[in-house]
Amino acid sequence: MQNENPQRPVSPELKRLQVPGQNSIRKAMRIAGPLIFLIGVLCIIIGIINFFWSFGGGGMPHYFWLAFVGMPLMFVGIVLCQFGFFGAMTRFIAGESAPVAADTANYLAEETKDAVETVAKAVAKGVVEGIEEGRAKPGQGKD
């Protein structure tokens, strides 16, 4: 696997998950996706223009069917783009959300420190009281 980003090291576990030729497949999807999507948009535009042109005295629409061909082409193009750019988008989203999550965790740790300490003291007090009660009443509570 080629390392596309020299700042991001590739672990051996990640290399194991990669199939041979994955980079070329990803590159093909990144090129074919937008291309097929644009061809689909072009087909829809031609079909719709031809449809409305026929209302202006152009006769029967001959290329209206292209609008129906363009819709699945757009779908296929979008799906290829999603697969081709999935890793890049996932890294972007992780890079955007990780600092927020870290700040939230730090905030919660700092702001709940007193409450956690209070709960820990109450639990410790309850355990000590339970042990002392058990010593005061020997033989009870055993099955």
Tell me the C-alpha distance between 125 and 11, whole Å. Answer: 48
The reply to whether 54 falls in a domain is: yes
DSSP helix/strand/coil, 74: helix
Positive or negative, the CA dihedral 7, 13, 16, 19 is negative
Q: What is the pLDDT along the chain (143 residues), one digit of tens a residue?
A: 455 555 666 677 767 777 788 889 999 999 999 999 999 999 999 999 999 888 887 788 889 999 999 999 999 999 999 999 998 898 889 888 888 888 888 888 888 888 888 988 889 888 888 888 777 776 665 54
131 falls within a domain: no
The whole-angstrom distance between residue 17's C-alpha and the CA centroid of its chain comes to 19
Q: Is residue 122 part of a domain?
A: no
Q: What is the reported pLDDT for 135? A: 76
Q: Is residue 86 part of a domain?
A: yes
**Can you give the pTM of this predicted structure?**
0.61
pLDDT in the model for residue 141: 55
Domain for residue 3, yes or no?
A: no
Q: How is residue 18 annotated by DSSP?
A: P
Structurally, the chain folds into a number of domains equal to 1
Sign of the dihedral defined by the CA atoms of residues 36, 37, 42, 43, in that order: positive
Q: Is residue 56 part of a domain?
A: yes
Domain hosting residue 76, numbered range? 12-111
The answer to whether residue 142 sits within a structural domain is no
Phi-psi region at 14: left, alpha or beta (left = phi > 0; alpha = psi -120 to 50): alpha
